[in-house]
Structure 1
């Protein structure tokens, strides 16, 4: 390859590199790599300055190293704008300096290695291209001149990439580079072919043959375009051929599509020139084509990007003042295509008056001879609606004449309305933020990664004594703070930078106002890539809060001490109360046993005496004694019941019941008393309620009814007593049943009704003398109704009668067998036992001689054979030796009590299944439950009425269904 062809290929490759990226660093690196790969250069570098000002003013403006090959060639990546560089840039020409020249020393200063000669290209007024070589021939004037156009294009590419990364300015250098590129295409063997005058192929190079899907040129010779895979474009291709030959002129650089062998389409940039024979006559066509398919795609993408970015491309003839828009859509700027200004004067007329002088000043500066910086101006332009829009116009002179006068300018205009609006909103937001920060009591600061203050609120002066402006740009060390404080802040500020998360800490400071404690919260401020750029610190004075917290902690500890002391006192009081309650329970149990045991003897002996008495006067006296004993037992039961209630020893049973049984028991118990007083006692129980299976405490319910109906009979001289039962409410689980007892008795005064349900209270004291009673019955009723979850009350008219009522919930249950309710008077039981069960053998266990005597007499009176045991151990041994029909077991006995004896009998004896009846003076619910848990079948509280005893014996004998006789 000849030197000229190699240089042209290099220029071509350099030009292609410039269009591959909008990134200036990548563009510069590709340029330098290509240049060093084709030329014998030792180093090449590009220097650029972003603060391009007036070159004559040698201020702090400087060049930064954009890129260098090899890297590390320059120890300092920055060089000042010296008079030499300023002069070279104003001259605008490429200059070559040998190693001995003074300019050479300045140009290569800072380089690690130097060469024999260097060449410098000014890149407008913005940058420098510095080349070094040990071979002076590398910088021949011809090559440097050819490279000039490409270097100008490099300058434009870097400028466009640096400024806006979207568009390269269409400059005069770009036009020159296109001409150079067209020349390269015309003379470089890319896709080369030649035809005769009839457009038949005479030959081609391998690249063209591959495009045609052929193996070589021989496959094309003699054929025309209609016989190729691009037959669809053949007429157009041949028309171009005829045009070139007819006019004897080249047809250069036009673009056209071509169908590929696989049916696809590529785009070509084609040049055709006439072929002449030796006599100068046109003999055919020589053509060269370049595949620009990817370039076409890029152009479409660029056009789309310009559309999205609302960019307008323009050219301006500086001689005529005419404006052209290169097919760009004027609506991007809010202008109609027909209404767009076509001259510079028309454009200036639409610039906002306040911006016009600035716009024209920037334009005049760019038109000055030797100015290569161009202009960049933001201003407002009137739109088609009469309003104004913010634009940014960037451009530069693209062509000058030989005297340096500007002929053509090119550039683009960008709609920046949204950015300006955002800037205004940001400014307003910052102002609002400053106002807010000023109103806050907190101290606000912002730091960079070097602990420098970027912002400080005004109230920092009250704490540090320094004004907010004193902090800006300085670290804590530079502000003269003590070393511990500086070390603390360096660590605290570093945390959000390291972790990317907020950091909270406390710091104490001796301020002009005294010792203060601050809570600091440092929050990272990150960019879109997640990199922490700054840290915002907010400090809140928590001195008083800390003091309050210390004081609160002191009070808390004191309160905890008080609570601990009080808790200990309460625990001691609770233990004492529980001990007292246990003592009370033991006392009640003992009292129950000790009172019932002698009462059992009294009532039992009276009953035995009555059974043997035939004298009428004696029977009358014994009847009165029995009545007195029953009244005494009633008083004892009431006192024990109210005591148990107050001691919370009452536990309600939950067992099946039927209201009809409760009513029947009342009649059986109280009918004779009503008859004795000449009264009529009736019960009104609806049939639908009578047989509903319910659950509750039948014994306590009967106790309440017995008390209320008994009182009504007692306090009624004539008339009647009526018991009514009604359902007054219902839920899914229970019935609300109302029991109402109405009498025609003496009635109750209003003031007496208020204390009627209190313990030991009656309507008046005279009633005790006239009617008797302790005044506990209604109090017990009220407590029992309350335990059942109900309520009780009375309505009365003195002299006319009273109506006592109570409502309690009784739970529903499934239909099933209901055990017989306790019967307080059984008719015929004694006679049946005598006739049907005479000779039945029973075991009686009781350690109290009198009680044992009474029980034995009652049992033997009905014909039973009785074996007696004086303690639980004897009872166990007898049960192991003989079978019994029934066992009557006392609870409290020496050696072995009744509960343990029952357990042993159930475990190992001949009477494991024999009914065991507990007969004991221990009448509490827990006593009853202990008997049942041990294996007893029923629990009877002493004293036991003979009728109750006989009814119970008969029931269990019938249930067992067999007799055991001696």
Structure 2
């Protein structure tokens, strides 16, 4: 018999645990169900006692309570409406107290006080503060009413007090005390268990947070180490590439034979392709690490688009296709604010792709003003081709890194598959997004919208530097510039010397470290210092800072152009903070250096 009851009890507990996942609510349901079950036992004893010994009304009341309690247990386990059943049980107990006062006892006896205490404790435990206060008030009310009328008149409805026999009275009092103890024991057991679980969960969460923090720190260290490694490897790879590309440019400037020129151009093309791959990998890594540097400077969008088109037109002509440029007249003489370097990178990437995947027809770069006001301009930029197109099911995938439309595309056209991923990342940094319209065999159009702050101007794309030009007022040719070359790599020194020879420039001096640079600037008047940033003894940053602090204003204002193969994400800001006027990444295009030297003369 005991085993049967135990199995029934366990099944009831399993049912309750399925009804509620919260430990506190599980305790509340258990308290309700077990309280109702104990009530059945209570009534099972009182019903025969009242049947044989009276009074008859108590017998009927016990019979009703037994029947209702059995029905409430069934409702809880069947439909999971334990809150409604709990309120119903409290309401029945409240009626019991009021009936004791009005019909049976017509006063306040010990069982009545016990029932009041049971209701107050249970309502707080089962339903919380608000319901606890409500039910407590409703059940304390009869005690207050009785106290007010005691000694003057009894609060009754002309019904005589009912006699209760001693065995029944003793059983009710004992049962109520047991129920009060049970309620406290059960709920506080569940409460303490929940506190223990919460404490353990808190400790586990704390340990998990500590492990997570350690993992994040390790990931950050790993990311920093990866960036440092890539930066170092980039410097080491770009330095010899600077020699290869630089010597190729020098040889091409020396009027080579036709067969030699072809070899030189192939060599230069291959080296520049390798440089592009290196730059793509580094840019992608910086985008992923959140260290992609963006600028907000004024530039002429009209001129920028013209320069991009002019630079890529030769590639299109070699494939026998036209490269067209369509610029909205509203952009003429408009200065906009943004990052011209990154915007150029996006457009060159998209246009190169369009040229690469187009065998006949044309490629068009178009800039159209969608909306504009005095200070804001919304521009739609598109690159459209008549090439092979992109299948619909591959159009999302091409923006994922290391992905191309198909394996055959990779075999035929090559590439890392990073270009469009970088384009997407840059445009997101610029507050825009890349869009695509394409059909296989008919062509592709990439387009994006960018909002620029703008102003009307006829000025340069970027204002010229203000220092370092005091002694150039009579210079008319590059050959008269006195240039100090700060470079510790002999191949790079040779490349610069050969370029200068082609421009009729003779370097005034060569320094192999920052200390030598500083001493030479102190003792000579130079027009320009080409400053390598990574040198032994003293780097280019520190050498520049100390030059700017020299007491001789003419020497301290010498024009300094930084040269570096590094790809540090904040290199531009570091160059400016160190007092340098300009920056050229290695490998550099000889035309870029020649243009900077010419601008230096024109600043007077």
TM-score range, shorter chain: 0.5 to 0.7
Given the alignment, which residue of 264, 268, 287 partners 1:645?
287
Within the alignment, does 1:692 sit opposite 2:334 as a pair? yes
Q: TM-score, normalised by structure 1?
A: 0.43
Deviation of 1:855 after TM superposition, in Å, equals 1.4
Are 1:918 and 1:939, in contact at CA under 8 Å, matched by a contact in 2? yes
Q: Which residue of 2 aligns with 1:856?
A: 497
Q: Are positions 1:933 and 2:577 aligned together?
A: yes
Residue pairs, 1:86-235, within 5 angstroms: none
Partner of 2:477: 836
**TM-superposed deviation, 1:799:** 2.3
Deviation at 1:857, TM superposition (A): 2.2
1:458 deviates by 7.6
One of 586, 607, 611 as aligned partner of 2:228? 586
SS at match of 1:838: helix
2:82 is the alignment partner of 1:439 = no
The equivalent of 1:298 in structure 2 is: none
Residues 939 and 925 (structure 1 numbering): CA distance in 2 closer, same or farther, change over 3 Å? farther
Question: Greater helix share, 1 or 2?
Answer: 2
What's the offset of the Cα at 1:643?
A: 2.0
- TM-superposed deviation, 1:854: 0.9
SS in structure 1 opposite 2:317?
helix
2:344 corresponds to which of 694, 702, 716: 702
Structure 1 residue 574: Cα displacement: 0.9
Tell me whether 1:924 sits opposite 2:563 in the alignment: no
Q: Conserved in 2, the CA contact under 8 Å of 1:657 and 1:818?
A: no
Question: Aligned equivalents of 1:473 and 1:755: distance in 2?
Answer: 84
CA distance in 2, matches of 1:456, 1:908: 103
More strand by percentage: 1
| Worse overlay, 682-691 or 877-886 | 682-691
The 1:617–1:564 alpha-carbon spacing in structure 2 relative to 1, beyond 3 Å, is same
Selected match of 1:771 from 413, 432, 438: 413
The equivalent residue for 1:876 is 518
What SS class does the counterpart of residue 513 from structure 1 fall into?
A: helix
**CA displacement, residues 897-917 of structure 1 (integer Å, 9 cap, x when unaligned):** 111111111112642212210
Q: Alpha-carbon deviations, 1:850-875, whole Å to 9, x = none? A: 11111122223323331110001110
- Is the aligned partner of 1:611 residue 2:264? no
**Kept after mapping to 1: 8 A contact 2:541/2:575:** yes
1-structure distance, mates of 2:428, 2:556: 41
The question of 1:564 aligning with 2:228 is answered no
1:799 aligns with 2:441: yes
Whether the aligned pair in 2 keeps the contact of 1:456 and 1:472 (CA below 8 Å) is no
Separation (CA, whole Å) in 2 of partners of 1:843 and 1:514: 100
- Give yes or no for the alignment of 1:669 onto 2:322: no
Instruction: Report the Cα offset of residue 611 of structure 1.
Output: 2.7
Partners of 2:186 and 2:336 in 1: CA distance: 68
Contact kept? 1:653, 1:696, Cα under 8 Å: yes
SS in 1 for 2:434: strand
- Shift of residue 473, structure 1, vs aligned partner: 9.3
Name the counterpart of 2:588: 944
C-alpha distance in 1 between matches for 2:227 and 2:175:
72
Deviations 1:827-886 (A, max 9, x none): xxxxxx996232210111011111111112222332333111000111011111112111
Q: Residue 595 of structure 1 aligns to a residue in which SS?
A: helix
- Structure-2 residue corresponding to 1:718: 360
* Pairwise CA distance, 1:688: 1.5
- After TM superposition, the structure 1 = structure 2 runs for residues 16-27 of structure 1, keeping only pairs within 5 Å, are none
1:846 to 482, 487, 493: 487
Give the Å deviation of 1:517.
7.9
Give ranges in structure 2 of 5+ residues lacking alignment.
1-89, 99-106, 119-141, 151-172, 464-473
Deviations 1:695-742 (A, max 9, x none): 111111111111111221222222221112223456997544221111
C-alpha distance in 2, partners of 1:542/1:729? 72
- What secondary structure is seen at the aligned counterpart in 2 of 1:514? helix
Checking the alignment, whether the CA contact within 8 Å between 1:693 and 1:813 is kept in structure 2 is yes
8 Å contact from structure 2 (residues 284, 418) kept in 1:
yes
* Shift in Å, 1:676: 2.6
Distance, in Å, in 2 between the alignment partners of 1:655 and 1:620 is 40
Q: 1:196-345 counterparts in 2 under 5 A?
A: none
Alignment correspondent of 2:177 = 513
TM-aligned CA deviation for residue 677 of structure 1: 2.5
Q: Which residue of 2 aligns with 1:750?
A: 392
Measure, in 2, the Cα distance between the counterparts of 1:798 and 1:609. 43
The Cα shift of 1:579 comes to 0.6
- Tell me the CA shift for residue 947 of structure 1: 0.6
- The unaligned stretches of length 5 or more in structure 1 are 1-434, 444-453, 476-508, 519-540, 823-832, 962-966
Secondary structure of the residue aligned to 2:291 is coil
- Does the CA-based 8 Å contact 1:745-1:800 persist in structure 2? yes
Structure showing greater Rg: 1
> Relative to structure 1, is the Cα distance of residues 901 and 730 closer, same or farther in structure 2, using a 3 angstrom cutoff?
same
CA–CA distance in structure 2, aligned partners of residues 782 and 792 of structure 1: 6
- What whole-Å deviation, never above 9, does each CA across 1:920-956 have from its counterpart, x for those lacking one? 0012331222112111111111001111111122123
Deviations along 1:113-137, one digit per CA (max 9) or x if unpaired, are xxxxxxxxxxxxxxxxxxxxxxxxx
Instruction: Say if 2:290 is the partner of 1:655.
Output: no
Matched, 1:782 2:424: yes
Contact 1:437–1:457 under 8 Å retained in 2: no
Whether contact under 8 Å (2:481, 2:527) holds in the other structure is yes
What is the Cα deviation at residue 818 of structure 1?
5.8
Deviation at 1:814, TM superposition (A): 4.7
- 1:555 counterpart SS class: helix
Following the alignment from structure 1 to structure 2, what is the Cα–Cα distance between the partners of residues 713 and 691? 29
Aligned equivalents of 2:196, 2:412: Cα separation in 1: 69
Displacement, 1:792?
1.0
What does residue range 600-639 of structure 1 map to in structure 2 within 5 Å?
Answer: 600-639=242-281
How far the C-alpha of 1:515 sits from its partner, in A, is 7.4
Task: Return the offset for 1:441.
Answer: 9.7
Q: Say if 2:555 is the partner of 1:902.
A: no
Structure 1 residue 472, shift from structure 2 partner:
5.4
Mapped contact 2:93–2:115 kept (Cα < 8 A):
no
Q: Deviations over 1:654-675 (max 9, x none)?
A: 1112320221111220122222
SS state at 1:809 partner: strand
Give runs of aligned pairs for residues 415-434 of structure 1, distance below 5 A: none
Equivalent residues of 1:456, 1:468 under 8 A apart: no
Deviation (angstroms), 1:775:
2.1
Q: Closer, same or farther in 2 for the Cα pair 1:923/1:510, shift >3 Å?
A: farther
Going from structure 1 to structure 2, the CA distance change for 1:815 and 1:546 (only over 3 Å counts) comes to farther
Equivalent pair of 2:286/2:569 in contact (CA under 8 Å): no
* In 2: Cα distance, 1:640 partner to 1:718 partner: 33
Higher relative contact order (CA 8 A, sep 6+): 2
Q: CA deviation at 1:462?
A: 3.5
